[in-house]
């Protein structure tokens, strides 16, 4: 768990971890150069739960650097990631660990939901509901373009990270690494419970939308290379779905919140070049299916209109409507 200036949320997160029903758990807390009282809170919990919590401090290097540092300290068979302003259900890791052990899964994921600071649910994010509770990746490769690539709602066999790490300095580092980890898996498990509570903070750094969003396209390019070197290199349909979901829809969702016109149009040009270079047809984007349903049709009306206007080339109208 990387920590950077989250003193207001850290106790709730740590409470949800130390009270896990899974007793044999190692909680690695990495203080990434916090300047608030996070370090004192970590020491307090480390003193109260010495058998569970291992606290470390390092100079600030960002989320990826802190996660990589934590991976090097981990001694467990499985790895999970939690952001320090989020929290999890008390049974999350016991259920996911049991699934992994019982069915020999290299990765297990659960549903997650976005909540506000009063714990009201903003949005439920169901994961691959159309698939069995455990399955072989080669039998259901559609999962490659179906799942959300959060690191935090999953556990992984630690061995999957041999030779892999989060890219330091890259935004959207989960999109860049987790698909590569998925490609190494043989069997995947899933829980239908909403174990992970993802806090939407109004002052979060993720609310600042600028050229950092271009890292989404860089992440997709990196995954493309890994995919084409994997045993699934000929499964172009799965790769195309990933390009559309993450490279087009995820990027456009980010682009919608860019306030400055100059930045918006430069980023839009990058997206159109991305689409052109991969020869992605507009009809492919409009017909893209997720969880066996048309993705665009499954979205709220506001998002539908936004995407349809963009694909029709009405960007000037989009900018007027969003101001």
Q: Of 240, 261, 237, 264, give the one whose Cα is nearest residue 251.
A: 264
In the prediction, which pLDDT does 204 show?
Answer: 56
In the prediction, which pLDDT does 207 show?
Answer: 60
Q: Give CA angle at 176 (170, 180), nearest 5°.
A: 145
Q: Would the CA dihedral through 8, 9, 10, 12 be positive or negative?
A: positive
In the prediction, which pLDDT does 205 show?
Answer: 46
In the prediction, which pLDDT does 79 show?
Answer: 98
Angle between helices 10-18 and 38-48 (to 10 degrees): 20
Output the six-digit token pair for 99.
Answer: 């699934």
CA distance 155 to 64: 17
Q: Which CATH architecture has domain 2-206?
A: Alpha-Beta Complex (3.90)
Three-state secondary structure call for residue 218 = helix
Three-state secondary structure call for residue 195 = strand
Question: pTM (2 decimals)?
Answer: 0.94
Q: Token pair 């061995």 is at which residue?
A: 159
CA distance 141 to 233: 12
Three-state secondary structure call for residue 74 = coil
Q: Where are the domains of the chain?
A: 2-206, 208-321
Q: What is the pLDDT along the chain (323 residues), one digit of tens a residue?
A: 999 999 999 999 999 999 999 999 999 999 999 999 999 999 999 999 999 999 999 999 999 999 999 999 999 999 999 999 999 999 999 999 999 999 999 999 999 999 999 999 999 999 999 999 999 999 999 999 999 999 999 999 999 999 999 999 999 999 999 999 999 999 999 999 999 999 998 765 446 899 999 999 999 999 999 999 999 999 999 999 999 999 999 999 999 999 999 999 999 999 999 999 999 999 999 999 999 999 999 999 999 999 999 999 999 898 888 77
Q: What values do phi and psi take at 171, rounded to 5?
A: -80, 155
């Amino acid at each position: 768990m990387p920590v950077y200036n989250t003193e207001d949320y850290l106790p709730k997160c740590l409470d949800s971890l130390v009270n896990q029903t899974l007793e044999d758990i190692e909680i690695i807390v990495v203080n990434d150069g916090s300047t608030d009282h996070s370090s004192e809170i970590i020491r307090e919990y480390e003193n109260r739960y010495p058998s569970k919590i291992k606290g470390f401090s390092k100079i600030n290097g960002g989320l990826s650097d802190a996660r990589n540092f934590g991976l090097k300290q981990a001694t467990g068979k499985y790895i999970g990631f939690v952001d320090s302003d989020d929290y999890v259900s008390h049974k999350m890791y016991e259920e996911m660990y049991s699934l992994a052990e019982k069915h020999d899964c290299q990765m297990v994921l659960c549903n997650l939901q976005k909540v506000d600071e009063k714990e009201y649910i903003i949005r439920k994010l169901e994961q691959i509901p159309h698939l069995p509770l455990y399955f072989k990746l080669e039998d259901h490769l559609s999962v490659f373009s179906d799942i959300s690539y959060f690191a935090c709602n999953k556990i992984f066999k630690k061995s999957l990270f041999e030779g892999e790490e989060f890219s330091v300095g890259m935004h959207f580092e989960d999109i860049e690494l987790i698909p590569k980890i998925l490609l190494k898996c043989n069997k995947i498990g899933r829980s239908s419970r909403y174990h992970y509570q993802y806090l939407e903070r109004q002052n979060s750094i993720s609310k600042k939308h600028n050229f950092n969003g271009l890292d989404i396209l860089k992440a997709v390019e990196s995954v493309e290379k890994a995919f084409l070197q994997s045993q699934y290199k000929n499964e172009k349909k799965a790769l195309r779905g990933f390009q559309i979901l993450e490279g087009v829809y995820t990027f456009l969702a980010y682009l919608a919140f860019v306030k400055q016109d100059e930045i918006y149009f430069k980023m839009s040009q990058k997206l159109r070049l991305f689409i052109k270079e991969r020869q992605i047809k507009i009809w492919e984007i409009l017909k893209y299916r997720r969880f066996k349903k048309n993705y665009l049709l499954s979205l709220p009306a506001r998002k539908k209109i936004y995407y349809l206007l963009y694909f029709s080339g009405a960007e000037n109208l989009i900018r007027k409507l969003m101001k």
